[in-house]
Amino acid sequence: MTLAPQVSVILPAKDEAACIGPVLRDIADVLAATAHEIIVIDDGSSDATADTVQALRLELPQLRLIRHASACGQSAAIRSGVQAARGQIIATLDADGQNPASNLPGLIAPFLAPDANPKLGLVQGQRMRRQDTLSKRLASRFANGIRNAALHDRVRDSGCGMKAFPRAAYLNLAYFDHLHRFMPAMILREGLIVVTTPVTHSERSAGSSKYNNLQRGLVGIVDLLGAAWLMRRRRLPVAQEVAAPSAPGDSGA
């Protein structure tokens, strides 16, 4: 923990004591060759999530734990993690084991490449062969279609928890609850580039989802209207710093 990590991996977690241990070990194994830290944000869990993470810190010194006194939601948890992160590149994934850690190298590679595009603002995972119920898959497809039509972000799965982005780019975004579902649009709003990459998806091995289709739909309407308003109100200036004038008699040599 004395050297600054290249990558900070952030996991929002609420009541995931039964799942989170294997997920954390998998992340550490997959990123063993990359300087990284793992930050778990316990979002007001009522189970042993925090105790499980604390016990693993003896095994994984790169592991950190942040606790919310009460549940504030996934976007708030990600925000707490990004604010605390020491890495310049952030990667996020869910703590329930449905986002296999083996996808992480593909998410962060474009940022760590020697010829990395400085305008790259987000690598967004897109789940292949989702291991969810049919109703959840259909609801997600419908919601993504509506969002894409309104925001033109050209992403078919913005709700996927697997994302990678520069810390600085995230901190420039207008924050609102459920921001994590609109990251592609908000990154595009800043004049940055969004690319997508396919990621695998696994069945939940334990615990239960923290959302249902009705909850997603009700909050999604308000969020979509707010995101659309933000997209329309953004005006990006073309800014260039002006050089200081040369002193009299200065030849510039």
166: CATH:
3.90.550.10
pLDDT over 70 (residue 140) = no
State residue 196's pLDDT score. 95
Pairing of strands 163-166, 36-43: unpaired
Residue 1 belongs to a domain: no
Residue 100 belongs to a domain: yes
What is the distance of C-alpha 180 from the center of its chain? 7
pLDDT over 50 (residue 214) = no
What is the domain count for the chain?
Answer: 1
CA distances from 239 to 167, 183, 236, 242 (A): 22, 24, 9, 9
pLDDT over 60 (residue 50) = yes
Residue 244 belongs to a domain: no
Task: Tell me the HSE value of 203 on the side-chain side, using a 13 A CA sphere.
Answer: 3
Residues 104 and 164: their CA atoms lie apart, in Å, by 9
pLDDT over 60 (residue 133) = no
SS3 12: strand
- 230 pLDDT band, cuts 50/70/90, is confident
Which residue range(s) make up the domain with 92?
7-233
Residue 250 belongs to a domain: no
Residue 2 belongs to a domain: no
Residues 69 and 60: their CA atoms lie apart, in Å, by 24
Token output for 211: 């959302």
Q: Model pTM?
A: 0.83
Residue 112 belongs to a domain: yes
Amino acid at 28: A
Residue 123 belongs to a domain: yes
Residue 243 belongs to a domain: no
Mean pLDDT, range 99-124, rounded to an integer: 97
